[in-house]
Structure 1
């Protein structure tokens, strides 16, 4: 063979090898989830059918992989995804082939809350920071949902965006088209865009989850595992303005008197409000939201609970202005840490006084720096004072009040005493130093803009202190360090607080700590460990709150003067273990003690928890635990005197049927026991909660929850007696809560929802004890002295909360709400009646005070 022929043969071989390698690389790239978008000059008609010519010009992505139940396996059904775009919108078309199209679950639901059903989700990491993503879902019935992911694998379904999607049936399955406005997505200014991109399909009847790129179930990551979306060129960020005015009117009928024993007569009070929401895209990555006189009358009422602890109850945020774009305000590591040291808790804003205006700036200054700013002003108009006979009559006059200029109502609707105007401010910035390492700095302030006593403070120091309201400042440095696979984690926060204003003499905390203006506190929490992978994981955590740490002015903090250490060891099989689809078990150990100079031991706890997904995709689990070596410095208020608490043991078990069934059930049951020395009582308790979800037809869903439980604890403080004595009493509280949620979906954009909760509780006291203690001596249970207080503090209470909401989104961004609500309180039992100590079910509920409200609200978004 000649040298020339040899060179030609080698050249041909190299060309073939290069072609094969190129094909292999292209195939591997697609296997990793690489999508190609195609520009179009004619947008597709949004009907869910994918029969427009533009879809034929776009390449189809088909290389999906099963994530659950058989990780890495071929999907049981084929899926095709195509992506096209223009200067304004990204369009995604998905064909979901199904060999049994008659079995596709097309259950309908309320927007943002699709039920268990066949569903597809498109997730976009438009900044490609591998931490944040916008997800858009459409189920087979056409119900939409949007979700915001942050910190890689944390998510919030409260994010609400204006976009559109349609689903359509096919003889070989179903299909969906999504139209996602580019103004919703933050992306850098660049000639060629490179975004993270993922598509997930869920097949309900098989509980099957398939993804465009494999996201291992044992990985502590989500967004960072996305594939790529390429091919988008010439996209120019532009300023976008969205104005959403609203008009709302309500008519309420409430008791004229605030005395619960005088539920009648009742007074009709009409009112009206106007307001405005503004959304301004300053850049493609920075969004300004503002609201003036917001009204949240369509929001579901908080759950009624009986809180017998010495800690504040936490309630989730439901108001749209605060739920949207709030991911950056979440505490660092909230997915791996159970700390309650939150620098920002939006429920503080507008809790007692209406919001006059608020503004929020969120987004990214650059690819690696995110910011969030929020400022809100609350103002409290009060009813003008009246004298003589007029003071006893409802004030039906309409007057203009500068502190509530957009609210129109008679003076009788205003409180007799004004709320204290305050300004709430929160700012946070987080920077990604290297992939997997972020650092954040937060500052918050709650600043009183007045006091409780008119325009002039009294000269008497005691009276002046009653007028002053304390605010607070807070700051925190947080960090979130993770390996590239997300498995090894070290997260935490270092926070400080300062009391601003308030009574000059100071205020006592529940544990006896005195807080004066200017006092500062320190807190921290941190968690580190192997939190991904299998089969073994472990973590350790520590939390510290100094006695004067006070974050509640702007945030949420259950307690202070406490430090806690925690260690966890887990055995997990997220991808299956024998016949089980998933399995996990963990052993947790806790120790708590005070941070003051006493370093008092507060609590030890051991907890074993296990859960498994059974064949048939049913779930079962249990936890068993014990608390011992306990004492409480908050039980006897304002003293800090530690009181011994009995050892506590408990067992909880639960089981849940496959949620994709037309009728699914969940049962939670527990038994517990107190072990206490004489003369106090050892006790046993039990309780159960049954939850049912029934979907008899695609447009109807009924949820019912019945919860019956008691609360076991040792003797509780009733009141302090002279000479350092304290009256304590055993309690036997029993709570019954019945909750109904009824959903009727007339169309994917027209829904009727009913919510009702009947809550009743009884708490019987006795026997009673006296405790004698100095200012710091420990109260021991064995040293309590039985006594007769001469009165019975037992009580019975019942309430009914109900609301019915008709929601019609007649076009994207345009919504009409019709709401009826009722808040019913029990007529208090007569002192000494059997209802105080024996009856659980209410007998005088509908004889008590009730407030009925009819509410209508219209809002419409306009883009400029």
Structure 2
């Protein structure tokens, strides 16, 4: 813990001590690219300083707008790149000591046909919109997006790495819109305190403007955005005319109070719903004009949507997305790709923020339970921003409370976390080098020290380099890790599915006396992301057997090497057969570090938008066409040969301009010499009954037979038997969402998901000759006994009323419900019986009221 606190205190001071050098100005886009340069009038614009601010009323008749320079050289980029737009657009920019003002006049000869849909903040609808992309650092890599539609719905993003959007960034800004006889108007007022920029006497912003015309599916921009060029922040024009901008005071405080009632079950099986209160606060403070400190004290995320239900029968941990606002905002700066397989969902590199405040790891280990579903975060802080020298800075530190079970035994110790991320841009952002360090310190006691590691630390260096008109990129990273703890804790780490040091047929030594473990990871990729219609990426990556980053990162397994290739044809020029099409081809091969082949596969997937804006998706894959093996299938047993397998899928998506949009996806797979098979179907519909009300309903049904499902490892007479069985499993998941927007600041959102899965095991076998060529020769009967089965029923729902009663001050009313039952008996799926009985399970309800108040002292 002391080391983590010292890191938090030292880094901001060191960063503030750096000289405030002038911004390194990137060369103009005409010099950066080999394509024909656009006329300067189509890439350069000027902002006008005003003494009297325009009135924010959605009208363009203020004196400030009459004297402002007009930006009107817009071009269409979708579907016909470079075409003259059908509708004219004019944009004007002014500013004063506190605000940047932008007026957009979107001409339309049929104002009654303008699609204007109401939604809650940050929700994209199929309506017309105007988007401002402001590269205030002028680094051609980062930007702030401000978006509105004719209904005045606000959306905003922080953009990093030239094209990656962070939708969790929320700024405090205003906009007024109006539909009139000429079309519609959007009038923005953006405080300089909400964006970051370097201080110098002559300021330039990168600037990109995008207009979407919903009913014609046309997209136009200033300057022309080219889809055959990598990124879009770097394609922005120049917004000049600023003198030395003021350095606004940046301090925002948001205290909040929560009143909550949660259902609990005591040791006697009885239920109660006691009331509880909590207080906390979020603080945002500027360090100069470049860095921002975010802090949260006793945070509550009760309004966040629940995770989807899932039954994980694999050897690896299930990945869930981060949903908590504090950790989502600015998450892009903390990305660090280790030896990360992009094909597998859930790769986060060295930092997976859901480790902070995680579910107690020792819950039920000692036979006692707990009502705690997450470790309480006492406090967390974050420093982020970009220095004048081109260095991006990210620092996170957090402390979670010790959690006790019903018998007063530790189920999660007090833990401190720290993450430091630094990235230095070179060559005007076209190259860069970075470093990342993470640390976890646990205050273990007699209940946790032999189960959980005491300390875990990782570090890495990464670099990237764009070349050949920025269409190609070379990237590499090297990482290392070290963990320590008692001999029992490190032995458990060695035996985990991540490492599996206890396998009997490998050369990795399992040492139960070790008290530490180290490892390394490497990744090298070369990519083509721009230029012409072709794209490709080749990746070579490696995990050493001892690499361990799961204390603060997400890593499915160690001891793996992979070579992956992706090739794509991106056809963006419309024809009479399609509006656009993306044809992807993939190959991959994996091995462990001893050279044993673990996987081999081919994949093709195509995505085509038809002239009527319907989408067709299809794909096929083939795996294990050459001899490959699974060294994790037997959960510590010998490697098992895998038989070839394959699958195919098809999907349809309807026209999103209509009031309803149907979708249908389905697929099938087979393997294990015909013994394994499966199918799935996923229908859905999205409907907008009115401009205020929308809903969606999707269901997915999976049915399959897995003839080689691991069942258990059984010890008899001192010998371990690695058993498998044929699993017949059916799963039905339905997801419903309802959104009602009364006003731009008052909305209701409902999410509900019933989930049922049933399974029956038959043909119980054990490994005989696991590397045999013929499938049948790998197993022999095991018994006697019934291998059993299972039935799981769950229901999760979340209802949220959100009222932004003043800018950035929000009142939440939340009702969450969860029902869950696991029945360890063999079962076949029965519809509708299994579905309706989900509601026979006793509900666990949470009712809460959360009120926050934002002020800027």
TM-score range, shorter chain: 0.7 to 0.9
| Among candidates 642, 650, 656, match of residue 659 of structure 1 | 656
| Among candidates 90, 95, 102, match of residue 100 of structure 2 | 90
Instruction: Kindly indicate whether the alpha-carbon contact (under 8 Å) linking 1:648 and 1:672 is maintained by their aligned counterparts in 2.
Output: yes
* 1:406-429 per-position Cα deviation (integer Å, ceiling 9, x unaligned): xxxxxxxxx764421111110011
CA distance, structure 2, for counterparts of residue 623 and residue 87 of structure 1: 55
Instruction: Kindly indicate whether the alpha-carbon contact (under 8 Å) linking 1:643 and 1:778 is maintained by their aligned counterparts in 2.
Output: no
Q: What is the CA distance between 1:384 and its match in structure 2?
A: 8.4
Q: What is the CA distance between 1:804 and its match in structure 2?
A: 0.7
Q: What is the CA distance between 1:210 and its match in structure 2?
A: 0.6
* 1:765-805 per-position Cα deviation (integer Å, ceiling 9, x unaligned): 1122122479x999965231134441242111111101110
| Among candidates 314, 323, 327, match of residue 309 of structure 1 | 314
Q: What is the CA distance between 1:711 and its match in structure 2?
A: 5.2
| Among candidates 792, 795, 798, match of residue 803 of structure 1 | 798
Residue 412 of structure 1 corresponds to none
Is structure 2 residue 404 aligned with structure 1 residue 382?
yes
Is structure 2 residue 475 aligned with structure 1 residue 465?
no
Is structure 2 residue 39 aligned with structure 1 residue 28?
yes
Is structure 2 residue 299 aligned with structure 1 residue 294?
yes
Question: Which ranges in structure 1 are unaligned for 5 or more consecutive residues?
Answer: 1-24, 386-414, 455-463
* 1:724-756 per-position Cα deviation (integer Å, ceiling 9, x unaligned): 322210112211111011000000111000110
Residue 672 of structure 1 corresponds to 669
Question: Which SS does the other structure have where 2:130 is aligned?
Answer: strand
CA distance, structure 2, for counterparts of residue 183 and residue 668 of structure 1: 46
| Among candidates 424, 439, 446, match of residue 445 of structure 1 | 439
Q: 1:122 to 1:46 in 2, by over 3 A?
A: same
CA distance, structure 1, for counterparts of residue 303 and residue 243 of structure 2: 42
Instruction: Kindly indicate whether the alpha-carbon contact (under 8 Å) linking 1:107 and 1:117 is maintained by their aligned counterparts in 2.
Output: yes
Is structure 2 residue 350 aligned with structure 1 residue 343?
yes
Residue 565 of structure 1 corresponds to 563
| Among candidates 811, 814, 824, match of residue 809 of structure 2 | 814
Question: Which SS does the other structure have where 2:234 is aligned?
Answer: helix
Residue 700 of structure 1 corresponds to 693
Is structure 2 residue 182 aligned with structure 1 residue 182?
no
Question: Which SS does the other structure have where 2:72 is aligned?
Answer: coil
Residue 492 of structure 1 corresponds to 476
| Among candidates 506, 509, 532, match of residue 496 of structure 2 | 509
1:364-375 alignment, distance < 5 Å? 364-375=386-397
CA distance, structure 1, for counterparts of residue 677 and residue 712 of structure 2: 26
CA distance, structure 1, for counterparts of residue 263 and residue 245 of structure 2: 54
Is structure 2 residue 155 aligned with structure 1 residue 145?
yes
Q: 1:347 to 1:617 in 2, by over 3 A?
A: same
CA distance, structure 2, for counterparts of residue 434 and residue 54 of structure 1: 38
Mean CA deviation greater in 567-576 or 702-711: 567-576
Is structure 2 residue 61 aligned with structure 1 residue 61?
no
* 1:302-339 per-position Cα deviation (integer Å, ceiling 9, x unaligned): 11123222222222211111111222112359999557
CA distance, structure 1, for counterparts of residue 708 and residue 67 of structure 2: 75
Question: Which ranges in structure 2 are unaligned for 5 or more consecutive residues?
Answer: 1-35, 360-374, 502-509
* 1:684-733 per-position Cα deviation (integer Å, ceiling 9, x unaligned): 32111122110111001101111112355441221223223222101122
CA distance, structure 2, for counterparts of residue 719 and residue 384 of structure 1: 30
CA distance, structure 2, for counterparts of residue 318 and residue 110 of structure 1: 17
Instruction: Kindly indicate whether the alpha-carbon contact (under 8 Å) linking 2:45 and 2:71 is maintained by their aligned counterparts in 1.
Output: yes
Q: What is the CA distance between 1:633 and its match in structure 2?
A: 1.0
Q: What is the CA distance between 1:592 and its match in structure 2?
A: 0.8
Q: TM-score if structure 1 supplies the norm length? A: 0.87
| Among candidates 667, 676, 681, match of residue 683 of structure 1 | 676
CA distance, structure 1, for counterparts of residue 621 and residue 38 of structure 2: 51
Q: What is the CA distance between 1:623 and its match in structure 2?
A: 0.9
* 1:804-836 per-position Cα deviation (integer Å, ceiling 9, x unaligned): 10001112111100011110124x55856x568
Question: Which SS does the other structure have where 2:526 is aligned?
Answer: strand
Q: What is the CA distance between 1:484 and its match in structure 2?
A: 6.5
Mean CA deviation greater in 53-62 or 200-209: 53-62
CA distance, structure 1, for counterparts of residue 393 and residue 772 of structure 2: 49
CA distance, structure 2, for counterparts of residue 781 and residue 528 of structure 1: 42
* 1:487-521 per-position Cα deviation (integer Å, ceiling 9, x unaligned): 11112321111113244562212252258433111
Mean CA deviation greater in 292-301 or 372-381: 372-381
Question: Which SS does the other structure have where 1:506 is aligned?
Answer: helix
Q: 1:335 to 1:86 in 2, by over 3 A?
A: farther
Q: 1:256 to 1:91 in 2, by over 3 A?
A: same
Q: 1:80 to 1:335 in 2, by over 3 A?
A: farther
Is structure 2 residue 638 aligned with structure 1 residue 633?
no
Residue 167 of structure 2 corresponds to 157
Residue 123 of structure 2 corresponds to 113
* 1:61-91 per-position Cα deviation (integer Å, ceiling 9, x unaligned): 1111101011100111111111111111111
Question: Which SS does the other structure have where 2:326 is aligned?
Answer: helix
Instruction: Kindly indicate whether the alpha-carbon contact (under 8 Å) linking 2:474 and 2:526 is maintained by their aligned counterparts in 1.
Output: yes
CA distance, structure 2, for counterparts of residue 338 and residue 728 of structure 1: 27
CA distance, structure 2, for counterparts of residue 207 and residue 333 of structure 1: 39
1:98-497 alignment, distance < 5 Å? 98-257=108-267, 265-332=270-337, 338=343, 340=347, 342-352=349-359, 353-382=375-404, 417-435=410-428, 436-451=430-445, 453=447, 465-466=450-451, 468-483=452-467, 485-497=469-481
Instruction: Kindly indicate whether the alpha-carbon contact (under 8 Å) linking 1:288 and 1:359 is maintained by their aligned counterparts in 2.
Output: yes
CA distance, structure 1, for counterparts of residue 405 and residue 783 of structure 2: 45
CA distance, structure 1, for counterparts of residue 71 and residue 414 of structure 2: 56
Q: 1:158 to 1:575 in 2, by over 3 A?
A: farther
CA distance, structure 1, for counterparts of residue 658 and residue 336 of structure 2: 36
Question: Which SS does the other structure have where 1:631 is aligned?
Answer: strand
| Among candidates 570, 593, 600, match of residue 604 of structure 1 | 600
Instruction: Kindly indicate whether the alpha-carbon contact (under 8 Å) linking 1:219 and 1:485 is maintained by their aligned counterparts in 2.
Output: no
Instruction: Kindly indicate whether the alpha-carbon contact (under 8 Å) linking 2:260 and 2:275 is maintained by their aligned counterparts in 1.
Output: yes
CA distance, structure 2, for counterparts of residue 121 and residue 635 of structure 1: 50
Instruction: Kindly indicate whether the alpha-carbon contact (under 8 Å) linking 2:402 and 2:415 is maintained by their aligned counterparts in 1.
Output: no
Q: 1:797 to 1:742 in 2, by over 3 A?
A: same
Instruction: Kindly indicate whether the alpha-carbon contact (under 8 Å) linking 1:805 and 1:819 is maintained by their aligned counterparts in 2.
Output: yes
Q: 1:344 to 1:831 in 2, by over 3 A?
A: closer
* 1:433-490 per-position Cα deviation (integer Å, ceiling 9, x unaligned): 2131011100001111233539xxxxxxxxx624x53431101111121137431111
Instruction: Kindly indicate whether the alpha-carbon contact (under 8 Å) linking 1:138 and 1:166 is maintained by their aligned counterparts in 2.
Output: no
* 1:179-220 per-position Cα deviation (integer Å, ceiling 9, x unaligned): 111112111111121010111111111111111111211222
CA distance, structure 2, for counterparts of residue 836 and residue 97 of structure 1: 57
Segments ≥4 residues shifted beyond 4 Å: 332-339, 776-781, 828-832, 834-840
RMSD: 2.5
Q: 1:314 to 1:486 in 2, by over 3 A?
A: farther
Q: What is the CA distance between 1:840 and its match in structure 2?
A: 7.1
* 1:274-316 per-position Cα deviation (integer Å, ceiling 9, x unaligned): 0011111111111111111010000011111232222222222
CA distance, structure 1, for counterparts of residue 339 and residue 255 of structure 2: 35
Q: 1:789 to 1:700 in 2, by over 3 A?
A: farther
CA distance, structure 2, for counterparts of residue 850 and residue 79 of structure 1: 54
CA distance, structure 1, for counterparts of residue 405 and residue 750 of structure 2: 34
Instruction: Kindly indicate whether the alpha-carbon contact (under 8 Å) linking 2:790 and 2:824 is maintained by their aligned counterparts in 1.
Output: no
Residue 614 of structure 1 corresponds to 610
CA distance, structure 2, for counterparts of residue 769 and residue 69 of structure 1: 57
Instruction: Kindly indicate whether the alpha-carbon contact (under 8 Å) linking 1:631 and 1:642 is maintained by their aligned counterparts in 2.
Output: yes
Residue 732 of structure 2 corresponds to 736
